Amino acid sequence: MSAGFGFSPVPKWRSKGVIGVALAGALIAETFVVASEAYAAPGEETPSQEEAATRGPDGVLQAPDAATASTIARLEGERVEIVGERTERSSSWALPDGTFAAGMASGPIWVRQGDGDGTSAADWAAVDLTLEQASDGTVAPKAHPGGLELAGEGTPEDGLLVAVHGPDGETVGLQWTEALPAPRLEGPRAIYPDVQPGVDMVVEATRTGYEQFFVLTDRPVAGEAPDLSLTVSSEGLTATPDADGGVAFSTPDGEVVGTSGTPLVWDAVVDAERQHPVTEPWSADAQAPSAFAPFPDWGNGEPQENSASDPVQPAPQPDSTAPPVAPGADVVEPEAGAGRPVSEEATAAGATPLLPLTDSVEVTAAGVVELALTPDAEFLADPETTYPVVVDPDFYAEDLFDTWVQSGTSVDQSGSDELRLGTWNDGATVARSFIHTDLTGLRGKQILSAELALYEWHSFSCAPANWEVWDTGLVSTATRFSSPVPWYGRWEVSSQTTGYSASCGDGFVRADVTNLFQSWVNHNAGVVSMGLKAENEADNLGWKRFNSADYGAGIRLCPLQHSAGNSGHALDGSSADPAGPVHVVGDPVDACPGS
C-alpha cells in the first residue's frame, strides 16, 4: 500500500476514524510466505557475505536481492530477507534449501522513506503508530503509511484536526476551527480534554488512518446536551450517503475508496467490553501480538526440485456439508437498551448491541459531510446509562475486506476492529464473519500447504469448539446476516480455541485451508472470500472473537506453502520466479520481518 493515503494497487483505503484513513484496530492481515528454488543470474559473480548481508533489528539476515540472499542462506544455514522485494504489505526471504518465503499482509507493514531504490533497509520504516509531538506542536505517528497528521494545542492553522493525504493529492480531513487544549499522548492515542464542558475528544492512529471518539465525561443537564457536530471534508473525492447513515467516498471515475460507517454510541459499561476501552488509559496488550507467528520448519532440508513425472493430484473438493439455512430478515430497529448493558450474558460475551445514529449524516457538497452526533436525549438522561459515554463515527478505507454479521443487527461492521462467530445465548443471536483474500500472485502454483491463522482474544471457555471455513461469495458494506451470500462449500473444521483465561490466553488459532486455496488457484482466482461460522450455532461454546484487519496488531494471516509457477515468487506477482517449490507463511501485519 502506498505511503500517503492508504491506497493500494488492488483494493484501496482501509481505515477507521471519523476522517482520514485507518485500519481501525485490527490488523488481521492475510499473510503468505512463498519459497522457490534459488537462482543466480547467468555469469553473475557470487557476492561475499560481508558485502551483501546485514542483520536487521530482529536478528534476521538481510540482502538486497533474491540471488544474493539465496547464496547467503545456503552458506549460513539460515533464512535471509530479500529487502529489494519488500512492498508496503509484504516481505520475502530466501531459505537454506534454495526455496523462498514471503509474507503478504492485508494492511501496511512498511513505509517507504528517502529516495533509495528500495533494496536497502534504510529505504523502509516499519509502521509505528506511537504518537510523537513535533517542534511545531503538531502530532503524528512515528511511521504511518497515510502521512497522518493531528493538530496540537491552539487553533489549527489549516482548520483541520486530522488529515490524511493520498498519492495524487486526495485529502480527507476533520475540520476544527476552535482552540484545542494540549493533547495528552498515550501510545497511538491523543486525548484532547474538555473540548467542550464535559466532553473529551480522542483520536487514535491506526494502520492506514485513525479512529475518532467523543467522550461525554458527565451526564449533561436536561436540555443542555453538548452539540457534537463535525464536518468531514475531502479533496478529489465525492461523498455519497447510504440508507444506514454511512457515507461512501469515490474518485472521479466512480471507484469507492473509503466508507464512513454508521456512527455508534455506547456507555462506560459497554466500553469495558473492548480490548482497549476508550474511557480508560491506553495500555499495551498483556500478550502483545507483535512477533511473527512461529516460522514453519521449512527450507532446512535438501534443495527441492520440480519433476515432470510427478503425479497429477486430484482436484480438491469441499465436503458434503449443506450450506447454512438462509436466515430471515434482520431486525432493523435497534434493540431496546442498545448502547447500555442489556443482560449479564451479553456483557460477559462482549456482545452488547451499540446504539446506531442512522440519521446523523448529511452530504452538503461533493466532498463535504456534516455529522450531527449528539445522542438521543432519552439515552443521555436514562439512569441506566453509565458515564462516560462514547460516540464513535468512523471512516475506513477500502482494502482487502473483512466484516462480521449478526442476526438482529443491521449495521455495517466492516470498520469493526474485531471478527466474531457463534452464539452466546443458545442460538437466539448468531454471528458469522467473512474475510477477503487476493490470490492473484499465486496463480499457476501448486499449493502444498496452507493455513488460516486468526488472533483470538475472547472465547466462551477454554473447551475446544469447532468452527468452519467455507468458500463464499464476495461480500460488501451492504452485507447483513440476512443477505443472500452464497456458501459454496465447507473446506475445513478447526477446534482450536483460546482467549478465555490464563489457562488459554489470547493467541493465534489455525485452520488448514490447503485444499481450498488449491481449488481457488486452479480456477485462476483473484479476490476470494472465506466465510467463518461455528459448526453448532446453537452451542455457546462456539462463541469466538478475533482481531480483524482493522486492529493495530495480531492480524489475520494465511501461512501457505506452494510450488512456483510462471509468475514471480513475490505474492503480488511483481518479480520473476524460477521453477521450484515455494513456501508461504503468514505473520502479524505489524511484525512481518519478525523472527
String of DSSP letters for 418-476: EEEEB-SSTTSS-EEEEEEEE-GGGTT--EEEEEEEEEEEEES-SS---EEEEEE----
Q: How far is CA 343 from the centre of its chain?
A: 30
Q: Provide the pLDDT for residue 175.
A: 93
Is 209 found in the same domain as 111? no
| Number of residues in the chain | 595
Residue 469 clears pLDDT 50, i.e. is over it: yes
Is 503 found in the same domain as 427? yes
Is 224 found in the same domain as 172? yes
- Supply the CATH number for residue 505's domain: 2.60.120
Give the domain-ending residue among 103, 125, 147.
125
Is 455 found in the same domain as 391? no
pTM for the full model? 0.81
Q: In what order do the strands lie in the sheet with 139-143?
A: 128-133, 139-143, 149-150, 160-165, 171-175, 229-235, 368-372, 361-365
Give the domain-ending residue among 71, 90, 125.
125
What's the rounded Cα separation, in Å, for the pair 373 and 338?
16
What is the average pLDDT across 64-80? 92
Look over the chain and give the mean of its residue pLDDT values, rounded to a whole number: 78
Is 285 found in the same domain as 390? yes
What does the H/E/C string look like for 266-300?
Answer: EEHHHHCCCCCCCCCCCCCCCCCCCCCCCCCCCCC
Of 69-83, 162-176, 487-501, 517-531, least confident by mean pLDDT is: 162-176
Query: Is residue 153 in a domain?
Result: yes
Query: Is residue 19 in a domain?
Result: no
What's the rounded Cα separation, in Å, for the pair 528 and 518?
12
Query: Is residue 78 in a domain?
Result: yes
Q: Provide the pLDDT for residue 291.
A: 38
Query: Is residue 348 in a domain?
Result: no
Q: pLDDT tens for residues 262-290? A: 889 999 999 999 988 999 999 876 444 54
Of 33-37, 90-94, 175-179, least confident by mean pLDDT is: 33-37
Domain that holds residue 79: 54-125
The number of folded domains in the chain is 3
Of the two residues 586 and 219, the one the predictor is more confident about is 219
Residue 328 clears pLDDT 70, i.e. is over it: no
Buried b (16+ CB within 10 A) or exposed e, 406-444: bbbbbbbbbbbbbbbbbbbeebebbbbbbbbbbbebbbe
Query: Is residue 83 in a domain?
Result: yes
Beta strands, E only, 275-424: 355-356, 361-365, 368-372, 389-392, 396-397, 402-406, 418-421
Is 532 found in the same domain as 492? yes
Is 180 found in the same domain as 267? yes
Q: Provide the pLDDT for residue 285.
A: 62
Query: Is residue 26 in a domain?
Result: no
Distances (CA, A) of 248 to 19, 259, 261, 262, 330: 12, 4, 9, 11, 22
What is the average pLDDT across 57-68? 91
Is 168 found in the same domain as 73? no
Q: pLDDT tens for residues 378-412? A: 999 999 999 999 998 776 666 668 899 999 888 88
Query: Is residue 349 in a domain?
Result: no
Q: pLDDT tens for residues 105-146? A: 766 788 999 999 999 999 999 888 899 999 999 999 999 888
Q: pLDDT tens for residues 409-419? A: 888 888 888 99
What is the average pLDDT across 458-487? 94
Is 361 found in the same domain as 235? yes
Residue 42 clears pLDDT 60, i.e. is over it: no
CA-closest candidate to residue 20, choices 147, 105, 186, 179: 147
Q: Provide the pLDDT for residue 514.
A: 84
Query: Is residue 578 in a domain?
Result: no
Percent of the chain's residues with pLDDT above 70:
74
Is 423 found in the same domain as 392? no
Give the domain-ending residue among 125, 150, 174.
125
What is the average pLDDT across 158-168? 84
Is 251 found in the same domain as 111? no
Residue 340 clears pLDDT 80, i.e. is over it: yes
Is 288 found in the same domain as 140? yes
